[in-house]
Structure 1
Amino acid sequence: MDPAIKQKKLCFSLFLIVALFCVNEAKPQEYRHEAGGTLGTSFYLGDANRTRLYLHPGFSGGMIYRYNLNFHWAIKANLVAGQVSGNSADAANVFPFEQQLSFVRSFIDLGGQLEFNFLPFSDKFSYKGAKPYTPYIFTGAGTTLAMSGEPFFYAHIPVGIGFKYKIQERLNVGLEFSFRKLFGDDFEMPENSAGRSLDAPYGIKSSILKNQDGYSLTMVFLTWDFEIRKDPCCE
């Protein structure tokens, strides 16, 4: 056989091997988007409860969406509804004029966060060090609308940590804990309060670092991946 023909056949064979390798790798490609539901618990932190975690916990649930930028970074949006409650009798400090207040607040949380995965997150691409699990951190911005009393509508800053695991190619499960720092101090307004709240109970005007209320979420989520992206090995 002519050497030139043999060389062409060899090159063609190598091309087929590389192409088949890329196709094989393309089957379990990463997906751009994921969406799903989340359930968990919420609790209040503020003038009536400064440090006690999971005091008077309530139920929370909602929906989340992620846009996966790459193995390490993702943009997340959430819509969560929940409930918190509190009682000033639980506070170790004494309020002026012996103020006492108990409340239950239903709220809606709408926000967006930027997530960072500590490990490259994927159940494929092990040659790139990818893992089907990773701890992660996140922060961002959002708004909180509270009912069951005087209307409350303020911005918040979420800060949190989490852990996620890829059950199979498109299915993810995870757990995350976050704190929502509110830019308002009358979150603990009870129903039929006639204007009563713990808004600046010591007469000190609220600021970013003083007297601001907040709440915390501990949520379990389940999401489904969709929209395949181009295979990194062939770009």
Structure 2
Amino acid sequence: MRSLLLILTLIAGLSLPGRTAAQAQASVEKYKFDIGAGLGMSGYLGDANESNLFANPGVGLNASFRYLINSRWALRGLLTAASLSGSTADMDNVLPEGKVYDFKSWIYDLGARAEFNFFNYGIGESYKQLSRISPYLSLGLGVAMSRSGDDSFVAMTLPMGFGVKFKLRPRVNLGLEFCMTKVFGDNADSRELKDLYQIKSSFIKNTDWYSTLMFSVSYEFGERCVTCHRID
């Protein structure tokens, strides 16, 4: 009798729909959105610093929101704040009349970027060959406002970034990114530093740049609806 019960139990267990390890991994929840924040250092290239990007390092902060299209692509909205500073006294070139200029300013940049992951970024779905770590590139457009003393200035920006993402947990990501941003204007440092060499600047020519090196943490949310196409 006991042997019969054991056999029936085994048959029932085998007949019930089970979940293999691969199916369990494939059922890991996926999310559509990602929100995060970053902290790091900033640098400046312009009239008061022509070569050494981090000669006068500042502080960089950001807050971001991503739409996760798939494991390779994402769209990211970003608000960045960075402190910039420089001095013409550190330059080899002598300015007209031997003048020396110093400045300190803050720049606030609101923009959108497209991100491309080199690998299928994610965790859990082994059949998709996901990787917990991936380098990535980003490119976008933004609008920045800088303030130096009582002066303010607004211009378009072109951010170009390279970074590495690491998925610490299924919904928690760490990132390290270097971004170089072209400012389409010559007043990101200060109005006093505009056209120091008496060469008139334009939308592209003789404009300022700023950079950020940021460490970030982000959290995914917004469960994605996925249809299961399992075939028994």
Category of TM-score, reference length = shorter chain: 0.7 to 0.9
> What aligned pairs does 1:9-24 form with structure 2 within 5 A after superposition?
17=17, 24=24
Alignment partners' CA distance in 2, 1:232 and 1:49: 55
How far, CA to CA, are the matches of 1:72 and 1:233 in structure 2? 21
Q: 1:192 corresponds to which residue? A: none
Q: 1:88 to 1:16 in 2, by over 3 A?
A: farther
Deviations 1:77-111 (A, max 9, x none): 11122211000112222222223110100121211
Tell me which amino acid in the other structure corresponds to 1:173: L
Alpha carbons of structure 1 residues 25 and 230: separation in structure 2 relative to 1, 3 Å: farther
* Residue identity matched to 1:116: F
Deviates more, 1:211-220 or 1:52-61: 52-61
Instruction: From the superposition, tell whether residues 145 and 62 of structure 1 become closer, same or farther in structure 2 (CA, over 3 Å).
Output: same
CA-CA distance at 1:128 after TM superposition: 1.6
Deviation at 1:55, TM superposition (A): 1.4
After superposition, the C-alpha distances for 1:12-60 in whole angstroms (9 at most, x for unaligned) are x999758878963454132110101111111111122122121111112
Q: What is residue 7 of structure 2 aligned with on the other side?
A: none
Structure 1, 21-30 or 137-146: larger mean CA deviation: 21-30
CA contact (8 A) 1:29 1:230 kept: no
Structure 1 residue 203, shift from structure 2 partner = 2.3
The answer on whether the counterparts of 1:37 and 1:221 sit within 8 Å (CA) in structure 2 is yes
On the 8 A contact 1:30/1:122 being kept in 2, the answer is no
User: What is the aligned residue count?
Assistant: 217
5+ unaligned residues in a row in structure 2: which ranges? 1-12
Query: 1:7: which partner in 2?
Result: none
Equivalent-residue separation in structure 1 for 2:18 and 2:91 (angstroms): 67
Pair 1:155-2:156 in alignment = yes
Whether 2:50 is the aligned partner of 1:55: answer no
SS in 1 for 2:109: strand
Deviates more, 1:25-34 or 1:119-128: 25-34
| In structure 1, distance between residues paired with 2:14 and 2:106 | 64
Alpha-carbon distance between aligned partners in 2 of 1:105 and 1:84, rounded to the nearest angstrom: 5
SS at match of 1:24: helix
Query: Judging changes above 3 Å, is the alpha-carbon distance between structure 1 residues 82 and 16 closer, same or farther for their aligned structure 2 residues?
Result: farther
TM-score of the two chains, using structure 2 as the length reference: 0.85
> Counterpart of 1:44?
44
Q: RMSD across aligned C-alpha pairs, in angstroms?
A: 2.4
Map of 1:33 onto structure 2? 33
Q: CA deviation at 1:227?
A: 1.2
Give the Cα separation in 2 of the matches to 1:22 and 1:47.
58
Partner of 2:4 in structure 1?
none
Instruction: Report the TM-score, using the length of structure 1 for normalisation.
Output: 0.84
Question: Secondary structure of the equivalent of 2:42?
Answer: strand
Asked whether the 8 Å contact 1:140–1:157 carries over to 2, the reply is yes
Identity %: 37
The equivalent position to 2:225 in structure 1, one of 214, 217, 230, is: 230
Gaps of 5+ in 1: 1-12, 190-195
CA deviation profile, 1:124-171 (whole Å, cap 9, x unmatched): 222222101100000101111112321111110000100010001100
- 1:122 shift after superposition: 0.5
Q: Give the Cα separation in 2 of the matches to 1:31 and 1:58.
A: 35
